[in-house]
Amino acid sequence: MSDDKTIDGTAREVRETEAAKPASRAVPRRTWVVGAVALPLALGAVGLSLAQGTPFQPTPVAPVAIQALAPSGATAIKGEVAEIFGNKFVVQDGTGRALVETGREGEGGGLVAKGETVTVQGRFETGFLRARVLTHGDGRTLLLGPAGGPPTGSLDWAKDRLGLGPKPDMAALTASVQAAGYGDVRVTGRGPRHVEVAAKDRDGREHQLHVGFDGQVRERPAPGLPPL
């Protein structure tokens, strides 16, 4: 009898313990499916926003005759593609020929076709026009070289691509450059907190400038340009 009572008591304790446990609720399969779909969509939206950031655009420059090319941080030519050598090609107009370098984007020689008319804007120094903007005859435009702005993948870069980073007031920065005694102001690049500018002094000599978003103007070295 005592054994029966012990077994019976143990059984009652187990039942009471089980009854005290809160009932577990199974998560519906649909909830897991919705969560699995929503997370990639949310991440995708952020990625799309980052990808849709407005890239930097240099100040457009009117083409000059190839014969008139001179060392400059921002100049342009227009002519026919005469020859292609890998990431370099020759442009010719009625006054002469110029060698254009396109950097990594042009490796393989597929950026242009022989005989087509193109407009090339960039830096001319040491006998090369280092292309920054390439415009085809049909109006297609390619921006070559680094995108500018904060380092890719950094927090500042993410903020910039989402439109949350500092926005340079180009009119105010241009006024700062002019107040420093320069004219013919052309923005050629952008850094994390500054823009790069080509401008001319009162004597017509060109200078390469570093202009902070705070309006501070200072000169930077420019290979191939005449010294002060």
How many C-beta atoms lie closer than 10 Å to residue 56's C-beta?
16
Tokens of 27: 């998560």
**What is the reported pTM?**
0.68
Chain segment 44-99, per-residue pLDDT in tens:
333 333 334 455 789 999 999 999 999 999 999 999 999 999 999 999 999 999 99
Q: What are phi and psi of 174, to 5 degrees?
A: -60, -40
63 vs 77: CA distance, rounded Å: 4
Asked if pLDDT for residue 161 goes beyond 80, the answer is no
210 vs 177: CA distance, rounded Å: 10
Task: Name the pLDDT band for 30 (thresholds 50, 70, 90).
Answer: very low
Asked if pLDDT for residue 40 goes beyond 60, the answer is no
Buried/exposed code over 104-124 (b: 16+ C-beta within 10 A; e: otherwise): eebeeeebbeeeeebbbbbbb
Arithmetic mean of pLDDT, 119-147: 91
58 vs 141: CA distance, rounded Å: 12
- Long-range residue pairs from 29-33, CB within 8 A, at least 24 positions apart, any chain: none
